[in-house]
Structure 1
Amino acid sequence: MCTLVQKYNVPGPRYTSYPTVPYWDITNFSGKKWESTLIQSFDESNSTEGISLYIHLPFCESMCTFCGCHKRITKRHEVEVPYLKTVLKEWQLYCNLFSEKPKVKELHLGGGTPTFFAPENLEYLIKGIFKIADKADGYEFSFEGHPNNTTKEHLQALYNVGFRRVSFGVQDYNEKVQKAIHRVQPFENVKKVTEAAREIGYTSIGHDIIFGLPHQTIVDVEETILKTKSLMPDRLAFYSYAHVPWLKGNGQRGYSDADLPTAEEKRMQYETGKKRLAEVGYEEIGMDHFALKTDSLYKAMISGELHRNFMGYTASKTQLMVGLGASSISDSWYSFAQNVKSLEEYEHLVANAIIPIYRGHILTDEDTIIRKHILNLMCKFETVFTAKEIQDLELRISFDKLAEMQADDLLQMDAGKITVLEKGRPFIRNICMAFDMHLQRKAPETRLFSMTI
């Protein structure tokens, strides 16, 4: 395994989208084109499957150095209501474009720290969303909670407006690691909010665990999983720390590369963690995710309905995902669009009745086909290319690259069918990279991505 780690440990995307953001063709993008694809997608899908909403709540009281999300650090809670009012105005701008009342199938509050906001303000936000929208059949609402500041009042308020899933950021329970990443939270805090969520009636509780953190050892990973076992969350994200100080500024320069596990140590942390999670009863779901057999994510994998987008893995597919809030990304299936990142610019544009996007990408026919296959690999660990696709998309380059991976027992190729083997699952990003035609045609000139291992 170590030789494979050395061979395949290269910078690579996580493929929450294809094309990946650095390869978006912003010169061929416009707000008018985005609105056109948005309306088309809404008309095609709202009445049958509904739409997804992602709402970005960017405020945090302190900086966590492992985090790659767009955020504003502040302790001034008077920012809450003005921001939420702007989000609701933005939602109204979208609803003005729709031909009928939207049906929301999935809604996720991300951040930042959603529980930075007072419970009554979060309730105000959700009620405002559904003044001009309906809940689709089988809807699923979720939010990210910080164990240190998520209160029973937060959990109850969001439960009252339809939330049944919550994810708590754990990362690691070793205090030295927690201090390095500026996220000190005792196990007791996680235990308290997990049990409170269960008592209220949440049906899917998730924990996020990270390996590859500064000062982290295999023993730390095992002890974190042992403590996790005592709480048995319904699902887990167990993923690799992305060390990208050239992108994330001074936060990730608070420790040196020497403080980080080597690629081989990270892989051993992953393999050991994966083994322990399997012993506890968790099933591997796609890339970096695990769930109990009773959870909707596992059921979606078994039924073939597992989907992946900018919110990560989801239990059902919606063709249209609208992102609200500063820096949010929307996906019409035919194009991507990202909101401005500056809070001040975001509020100014919305106040002037302008949908606040600043860049995006219109998918080509080639993009759409490659996206389909990368989604299949990420969600099902297999995909099938037609002979015409192989010929039309000049995919012979990709299959030549995959032949070497087949020799390493990472995957099996049979004509146009690609099946990722158990040994190859840790290298799924590398396998998808073989089909990334944008990456093949133009390698990055600067460091854009974290290492795949």
Structure 2
Amino acid sequence: MNSALIQKYNIPGPRYTSYPTVPFWDKAGIDMEDWKSTVVKAFKESNQTEGISLYIHLPFCESLCTFCACHKKITKQHGVEAPYIATLLKEWALYCELFDEKPRIKEIHLGGGTPTFFSIEHLTQLIEGILRTSEKCLDFEFSYEGHPNHTSEEQLKGLFDLGFKRNSFGIQDYDPVVQKAINRIQSFEQVKKVHELSREIGYQSISHDLVFGLPFQHEHSIRNTIKNTIALKPDRIAYYSYAHVPWIKGVGQRGFDEGDLPQDKEKRHLYELGKQLFFDNGYVEIGMDHFALPTDSLYKAMENKKLHRNFMGYTAGKTALMVGLGMSSISDSWYAFAQNEKSVSEYTQRVEEGKLPIFRGHLLTEEDLVIRKSILDLMCHLETSWHPSLTEETKNGIKNRLKSLVEDGLLELSDSGVFVKEEGRMFVRNICMAFDLRLIENKPETRIFSMTI
């Protein structure tokens, strides 16, 4: 680990779950008819081949985790469940009106918030309601995020019976000091209970989400957290860098300040330590911040060059159309993005009016599509080819911006494209920034992104 390089490249930058990134979507937004036409186009091109994906945002949590930057609604009143499920199904019906044939669903992912805030009765109502107007692809993959303290055996069994064979548990850290700071207190015994229940029920892939760079984290706490994680042997491990973005309205990152966070070299040491411990126990690095056992579908997707990245993170397969349902969800038609209203009340009102609840979006230009493909290749496969439509001026500009990364031995440039060396993997976000024409043309005057390292 070269501390000088970390100091040099640890700058604010996007995580590239999309291109263009949300802050650089067209300020004028997207015309509703343009959005619908791209949905129809993507659906016609792909429904009978790869199918479509659904991301369903279930925003409710009983308490606030102070490290979380997701859009959520804190409440202990479970009376919110039924009306929210009804609204989701109405929104799905609005999308189904655009389709000229029954949609074939490749993926469903329940994200949050806390999806397991909802009772199995309401989750069943949601999934069965969606499947009444669609059919599953033969190789479908349904997954959900679960809070270890709020996931029951009944929910685990019920979701499995609905077709969910993969789940993900938010662990973050087992250290009691760290847990108190981020208001996410859960015991290893509780995690072990829901993990082992998942195995007994028959889940094919279990993932644990860990975070490095949290307040008061140190080498001992990371070693202990990973020791406990390895003892359960999840199929996948997401090892995320904590994104400290308290300037974003509504994030709620409090209970600690920046001085409590491990910085630069210290933070990167936590990542490198974790990575080595994963390697020592048979895990393989996937893209950025993800690890998987060689038996898992994510590893197989990487090996077969089918790894994909979108607003759900890394996935084992690509669909051109991803419909986002629920408050704040982002949909992706490949040709455009659209985000739903960010409050439950505004989201519900729009759907009740019979309208898709979109409040902003972006229609990609031909140039956007080319750059999007390059950044996606880099994030998934650590290499990309020069697209033939790139002008020499644009290509030379990218090469110039990559020059210092080449000189530092982090990547290779050739007439055919860009190849990221193993030493450059940790700097892949910086490499993508050299391709990011929207970022370069509209340099933000204030800080809007977390640090790249």
Secondary structure of the residue aligned to 2:406 is helix
User: In structure 2, how many angstroms separate the alpha carbons of the residues matched to 1:387 and 1:291?
Assistant: 34
Paired letter, 1:111: G
Using the TM superposition, give the Cα deviation of residue 53 of structure 1 relative to its aligned residue in structure 2, in angstroms: 0.1
Cα distance in 2 between the residues matched to 1:204 and 1:248: 35
SS of the residue 1:290 aligns to: strand
Q: 1: CA distance between counterparts of 2:446 and 2:368?
A: 23
The letter of the residue matching 2:239 is F
**CA drift at 1:67:** 1.0
Contact preservation (8 Å) 2:71, 2:251 = no
Q: What is the CA–CA distance in structure 2 between the aligned matches of 1:363 and 1:250, rounded to whole Å?
A: 28
Cα deviation 1:163-218 (Å, max 9, x = unaligned): 00000000000000000000000001110000000000000000000000000002
Q: Provide the C-alpha distance between the structure 2 equivalents of 1:151 and 1:125, rounded to a whole number of angstroms.
A: 18
SS in structure 2 of the partner of residue 210 of structure 1: strand
Partners of 2:87 and 2:352 within 8 A in 1? yes
| TM-score of the aligned structures, taking structure 1 as reference length | 0.98
In structure 1, C-alpha distance between the alignment counterparts of 2:316 and 2:250, rounded to whole Å? 34
1:127-182 per-residue CA deviation (whole Å, 9 max, x = no partner) reads 01101011012000000000001011111010011000000000000000000000
Report the equivalent of 1:412: 412
Say if 2:152 is the partner of 1:151: yes
- What is the SS of the residue equivalent to 1:371? helix
Letter in 2 for 1:288: D
2:65 corresponding residue in structure 1: 64
| Aligned residue in 2 for 1:358 | 359
Corresponding residue SS for 2:345: helix
In the TM superposition, 1:359-374 aligns within 5 A as 359-374=360-375
**Alignment partners' CA distance in 2, 1:26 and 1:250:** 22
For each residue in 1:304-354, what CA deviation from the matched residue of structure 2 results, as whole angstroms up to 9, or x when unmatched? 100000000000010000000010000000000000011111111111110
Structure 1 residue 263 corresponds to structure 2 residue 286? no
Structure-to-structure mapping, 1:370-381, within 5 angstroms: 370-381=371-382
Is structure 2 residue 165 aligned with structure 1 residue 169?
A: no
- Quickly say closer, same or farther: Cα 1:398–1:353, change in 2 above 3 A: same
- Deviation of the 1:390 alpha carbon: 4.4
Q: Deviations over 1:225-254 (max 9, x none)?
A: 111111000001001000011115573232
Structure 1 position 214 matched with structure 2 position 191:
no
Number of aligned residue pairs? 452
SS of equivalent to 1:251: coil
Stretches of structure 2 lacking an aligned partner (at least 5 in a row): none
CA deviation digits over 1:48-93, x for unaligned, max 9? 1100000000000000011111000000001001000000000000
Q: Tell me the alpha carbon deviations over residues 384-422 of structure 1, each in whole angstroms, 9 at most, x when there is no partner.
A: 10454242x613121112121011111111223211111
Equivalent pair of 1:68/1:248 in contact (CA under 8 Å)? no
What's the counterpart of residue 306 of structure 2? 305
Which residue number in structure 1 is paired with residue 322 of structure 2? Answer: 321
Residue 54 of structure 1 aligns with which residue? 55
Contact 1:103/1:134 (CA < 8 Å) preserved in 2? Answer: yes
Runs of 4+ deviating beyond 4 Å: none
Match of 1:436 in 2: 436
> CA deviation digits over 1:271-320, x for unaligned, max 9?
11101100011100001100000000000000010000000000001000
Partner residue in 1 for 2:421: 421
CA, structure 1 residues 101+412, in 2 after alignment: closer, same or farther (shift >3 Å)?
same
Matches within 5 A, 1:253-292: 253-292=254-293
> Percent of pairs identical after alignment?
60
Mapped contact 2:148–2:169 kept (Cα < 8 A): yes
Q: Alpha-carbon deviation of 1:447? A: 1.4
Give the Cα–Cα distance (whole angstroms) in 2 for the partners of residues 387 and 58 of structure 1: 42
**Which runs of structure 2 are paired with 1:75-154 in the superposition (5 Å)?**
75-154=76-155
Give structure 1 stretches of 5+ with no counterpart. none
Instruction: Give the Cα–Cα distance (whole angstroms) in 1 for the partners of residues 221 and 13 of structure 2.
Output: 26
SS at match of 2:362: strand
- Greater CA drift, 350-359 or 380-389: 380-389
User: Aligned equivalents of 2:312 and 2:100: distance in 1?
Assistant: 25
Q: Is the 8 A contact 1:387 1:416 kept in 2?
A: no
Q: Give the corresponding residue for 2:235.
A: 234
Q: In the alignment, residue 383 of structure 1 is paired with which amino acid?
A: T
The corresponding residue for 2:398 is: 398
Pick closer, same or farther for the CA change 1:355–1:225 going to 2, 3 Å. same
Alpha-carbon separation, structure 1, partners of 2:358 and 2:401: 37
Structure 1 residues 197 and 212, CA gap change in structure 2 (3 angstroms)? same
